[in-house]
A and B are shown apart, each in its own frame.
Chain A
Amino acid sequence: MEFHYREVATGRSYFKRAYLSVNLWFMGRAIQAASRVDERVRREFSELPADFTFALGVIPEGPYMVIRKRGKDSARYIGRKIDSQPVDLTLAFKHLEAGFLTFTFRENTSVATARDRLVVDGEVAYACSVVRILDIVQVYLLPKPIARMAVKRYPRWPLGGKLINRSRIYWRSLIGY
């Protein structure tokens, strides 16, 4: 019996890729904004080395979000290309589906790590800092019911401060400042 051989290209999920690209782009700008607005985020950045650069994205072809520490305790969103500069720490989802799970808030970063969907290339202590920054930014960006699914433990912050910072982070993210 003659076997039938065929080659299958694995294809692309355009919707999921676009969704993640937009999410990572906005998240990157939100981290930049939060580093100028929120004291907790500033503290986390202050403990990272000078010019520390980290990336969060999806293996093998991205998209990525690259952030670099700037000054003493703030950060700058560099862009979506990981190859353009050296990166000190990379957090990468093993596949697009894992990134989509996390960014549709069905699985938080801690659970994704526990389920072996996330690869960390770099210092684990710094990765923990980055995850804390991501959690803080998600608490600001998302409504409480959704944020509770996205972070490991929803924090108790004063409502007034949270709402004011949220609006500041939103408009700073939109204008990229």
Chain B
Amino acid sequence: MRVPNSMEFECPVKIHCGDRALNHIPFELRAIGATKPLLIGDEAASRDNRLAAVLNACRDAAMTLGVVEEVPLSDMPDSVHQLAAIYRDKDCDAVVAVGQETFIDLAKALNLILSTGADTLAPFVDGQAIPRALNPLAIIASASADGFETSGYLRFETHILRSVHLMPQLLFLDPRATGRPEEMAMVETGLNALTNGVEAYFGVDTNPMKAIYARTATMLATEALCCLAGRVSGTEDLAMTAAHAAAVGGCALGGDLLSTTHRLAQAIADTGKASTTQAKGVLLSYVLEQRVLEGVMNVDVLLSLAGGNDRFARTPEHQRGQAAIYFLRNLINQLFETTDGKIGRTLQDFGLTRAELSAIARSACATDTPGNPEIFETILVHAWEGRPFAA
């Protein structure tokens, strides 16, 4: 890896993981000055007893917790408004969120509003700077994650805010809270983590510090996905491996610009025919291959990250790039079989038509990051046909 002339790296997330990690919550909250946290959970957290596990873990903490369960996500602004009122009314001083994906965005939005005294997120959408010192935010992650939980991204309705200051201070990964999700949920978590890890590692603004997180996320995600695809027999706890990968991948992503894979996947998801995760699974290898052809990326190292050092060592040097791409596609093909087609191999599998691709490419370019719609469309066409660039 080339060491950049100048770089910045910040990861304010303290990660606690493993057996009885949840028991550390009161100690860690006290350490950052919180004495009365507001514990919020989504419906899944209550249903799977994950919220109860957190309350049990806080036993003997000599602390009072405010609890709001089953927070609905259907009307996020209203939920945030009500939670903020409760937080202020009851003199709480930290937010502990038990949930996943969109619910974590809600928790970040709540914390941003509470920390700044704003009523809505509108000033920040309009460009107001996000302050450095936000109130304490702790996240109890599950194994069904979209990989953005630990990142500096806040996706609220149609808006995306990003700042390293939005990253949570604390993250807890405990088998009692990660739960035992269905295989499909773990596959999606793994794919999200893989995309975040690979894109962070090969991103234009990568640096040696970020590479450590990105490398770890990629390796953990590949390990989990290979097990789920039936390639290798089991990691001891797939749910924890997938949750780790998602957490580390989010840290690698931080508050950086979204990559091509993320933007195209989001544009595809906006059509309503596939989820962002499904789209990422198909797109990742094509985006990487296109970059290799452009000569802006050396993909050889991907083989050691995803395929392992043995595979890297026994592959001739000039074939490593193609072998890495082949490895990714083969993995997706196997996941297609093990998930009964829920993870697609091409964009056609999701019912997208060739005519829709131009609009998707333009939509992906219409973000805060400049992009070339022609290149985007070329990638989409190849991913739609399932035809490698080299062919």
Which A residues are closer than 8 A to B by beta carbons?
1-13, 16-17, 59-61, 94-98, 101, 115-117, 119
Contacts and interface: CB of A to CB of B under 8 A. Distances in A.
A10 B71 contact: no
B26 A3 contact: no
A3 B68 contact: yes
Interface stretch (B58-66, B98-106, B140-148, B274-282): B58-66
Nearest to B66: A7
Given A10-B63, A59-B27, 8 more contacts: A3-B71, A3-B82, A3-B86, A9-B64, A10-B55, A10-B59, A10-B61, A61-B62
A9 B66 CA distance: 9
B24 interface: yes
Interface string B68-80: 1101100100110
Leading 5 A-B pairs by shortest Cβ distance: A96-B60, A94-B27, A10-B61, A95-B23, A10-B58
29 contacts: A3-B71, A3-B79, A3-B83, A4-B68, A9-B64, A10-B58, A10-B59, A10-B61, A10-B62, A10-B64, A10-B65, A11-B59, A12-B59, A13-B59, A13-B60, A17-B60, A59-B27, A60-B26, A60-B27, A60-B30, A94-B23, A94-B24, A95-B24, A95-B27, A96-B59, A97-B57, A97-B60, A98-B20, A115-B19
Contacts of B66: 5-8
B20 A10 contact: no
B26 A95 contact: yes
Interface size class of B (residues with CB under 8 A): 20 to 34
B69 A4 contact: yes
Nearest to B82: A3
Given A60-B26, A94-B24, A98-B20, A7 B64 contact: yes
Nearest to A58: B60
Interface in B281-339: none
A34 B61 CA distance: 33
Contacts of A2: 82
B83 to A, nearest CB: 7
B95 to A, nearest CB: 14
A96 B26 CA distance: 11
Contacts of B79: 3
A23 to B, nearest CB: 16
Contacts of A97: 20, 23, 57, 59-60
B155 interface: no
B125 interface: no
A8 B52 CA distance: 11
Interface in B13-35: 16, 18-20, 23-24, 26-27, 30
